[in-house]
Amino acid sequence: MKNSIAVISGEGGLPASVSDGTRALVYELAGGRWETRESIEYSPDFKSAGVLRDSLRSLISRLGDCRIVAAREMPGIAYHVFDRMGFAIFEIGEISDGVLSGILADVGERATEAGKEEKPPAFPVPKNGEGRYFIDLIELQASRPEVSSKMALRGFLKTRFEELEIICSHEPPWLEAELDKKLTLTREEAGERRVRLSIRRV
């Protein structure tokens, strides 16, 4: 499906986060207008990182050759799955001809930058033992400014892990409110304008 965009949607056809969307609306540009070509139901499962990846890969297999995806929020694990499958990824607040055409134009600009230096992953990576993960948000956001801290971390926090170490310039203001009661957060200075956060399971 050339010139097609899959938008993760919820109730009322509005853009939704990958974590609470219920369908992917596939829009296609035809005759200068964007039309809904297909509506694909899906149910993301955040039981574990592996289960979530499988549910997203199942959705991707139904998108054909569409390789652009947009959502209200794209958590880090979901971002990684779509990124590895060759998708251009966008976060949007509304669906309109202007927004969709803007995405398509931006994809064209991104294509001219393909082949540049390898960029860090947009999600925590395993470190020093089972259940332990690490992410450097300073490095990530310097090389991939389109990836917010929420995109990198929010989905991961819903998965099962023992410890997550985060290097950042400041604690994300939304972070502590997202932790469940079985997780604890500690902070320490790690150099000039660097903070080390450690999230552990109780």
Identify which of 3, 22, 2 has the alpha carbon closest to the alpha carbon of residue 11.
22
Residue 113 scores a pLDDT above 60: no
H-assigned helices in 17-96 = 49-61, 76-84
Mean pLDDT, the chain, rounded, equals 86
Cβ contacts of residue 155 below 8 Å, gap of 6+?
Answer: 18, 19, 46, 52, 75, 76, 77, 78
Residue 31 scores a pLDDT above 90: no
The pTM (predicted TM-score) of the whole model is 0.64
Residue 124: C-alpha distances to residues 44, 66, 72, 80, 141 (Å): 19, 27, 21, 10, 13
Strands (E), the chain: 4-9, 23-30, 33-41, 68-71, 88-91, 125-126, 132-136, 163-168, 183-189, 195-201
> What pLDDT does residue 106 have?
86
> What pLDDT does residue 187 have?
92
Residue 6 scores a pLDDT above 90: yes
> What pLDDT does residue 164 have?
94
Residues 114-143: what's their mean pLDDT?
80
Backbone angles phi, psi at 16, to 5 degrees: -130, 160
> What pLDDT does residue 4 have?
93
> What pLDDT does residue 46 have?
65
Residue 72: C-alpha distances to residues 19, 69, 128, 165 (Å): 10, 11, 34, 26
Percent of the chain with pLDDT over 90: 38
Q: Report pLDDT digits (tens) over 58-94.
A: 899 899 889 999 999 888 888 888 988 889 999 999 9
> What pLDDT does residue 112 have?
54
| Cα–Cα distance for residue pair 157/164, rounded to 1 Å | 9
